[in-house]
Amino acid sequence: MSSLWAETYDYPVAVTLSDTKDDPAGNFAALLVTGAGNVVVWTRGGPQASLPLTIPVVVGQYLRFPIRRVGLTNTTATVLGLVSSIVAQGGG
């Protein structure tokens, strides 16, 4: 099975950090790390979806799973949101 869709993004956007609201530009298919540190994320689905997940990251790393929010508190990394037509946009 091809994984082409998993590696295809339509465009990058600036991420709006928040501990309480989903990103208005999301949901993101992935994040691209442009500055190392920790990133706090809320996933779009799965067992961890209602809880923040802290991930240490390095420059150039991708987080390749649907993300609806990037936390303001404790996020020290810089990231870009990667939008894809295969991940529903707008909090749904």
pTM for this predicted structure: 0.85
d(CA 63, CA 10): 16
What pLDDT is attached to residue 6? 52
pLDDT value of residue 85: 80
| Whether the Cβ atoms of residue 39 and residue 50 lie closer than 8 Å to each other | no
Mean pLDDT of 80-87: 85
pLDDT tens-digit readout, 29-69: 999 999 999 999 999 888 877 899 999 999 999 999 999 99
- pLDDT score of 50: 86
Give the start-to-end residue ranges of the domains of the chain.
5-83
User: What is the band of 20 on the pLDDT scale with cuts at 50, 70, 90?
Assistant: very high
Q: What is the pLDDT of residue 25?
A: 92
